[in-house]
Amino acid sequence: MRAFGITALALTLWVGAACGQAGPGGAAAPPAAPTGKAGYFANSDLQNIWQDLEARQVLNKRVLEGGTHSINIRIVTPKDAPLAHANSLDIWLVQAGSATAVTGGELVEAKKRANSDDVAGSAIKGGTEQPLKPGDVLYVPPGVPHGFKDIAGFRAFLIRFDTK
């Protein structure tokens, strides 16, 4: 578990390098993950990205692309459908606001999304609820349905890893 925490922290720090390479809200492709060196994210750059997303009402900005992994700055809203990913896992690092994560169980009215390994549903039946607040980490393995409810200003870093 300690190695997981250190890995999540290291990946979070990579976000800083990406923020300096692509302007907030820019149309440029997300920066590639550095190799052979560490990356750094200045808090001021991250805050500028949050503000830009909020102003434009955009829910996600990929700030680092590693091929098999990515780091996203994510705003969650009540309209977001619950999902399950067949071939990737999610690590949510909560930065602001609150929400209740609903994980496990079964997706209701599940439908495969085009061009991805995602299955989306209208709700989750029989899931486990976990309140989330800043500083919390949510780990979602492949195939596990996950969604959010009781959302109040929920902001997180979403780190995704391909597993297959």
Around 141, how many Cα atoms within 13 Å sit in the side-chain half-sphere?
A: 1
56: tokens are: 């434009």
- Give the C-alpha separation, 75 to 72, whole Å: 10
Do 133 and 88 touch, CB atoms closer than 8 A? no
pLDDT at residue 103, as a whole number: 98
The answer to whether residue 138 is domain-embedded is yes
Total count of domains within the chain:
2
Burial class for 88, CB neighbours closer than 10 Å (0-12, 13-18, 19+)? buried
Amino acid found at 71:
I
Specify the DSSP class assigned to residue 56.
Answer: H
pLDDT of 10: 40
Domain assignment of residue 5, yes or no: yes
Please, what are the averages of pLDDT over each run of 10 residues along the chain (164 residues)?
41 38 53 86 89 92 91 94 96 97 98 93 98 98 98 96 91
Cα distance between residue 132 and residue 143, in whole Å: 21
Within this chain, do residues 86 and 156 fall inside the same structural domain, yes or no?
yes
Q: How many helices (H) and strands (E) does the chain have?
A: 2, 11
Check residue 30 and give its pLDDT: 81
* pLDDT at res. 151: 97
Structure tokens, 36: 């052979």
Does residue 81 share a domain with residue 55? no
Number of neighbours of residue 140 by Cβ within 10 angstroms: 21
Residue 70 lies in a domain: no
Same domain? 53 vs 103:
no
Looking at the domain assignment, is residue 164 inside a domain?
A: yes
Q: Which domain does 87 fall in, by range? A: 76-164
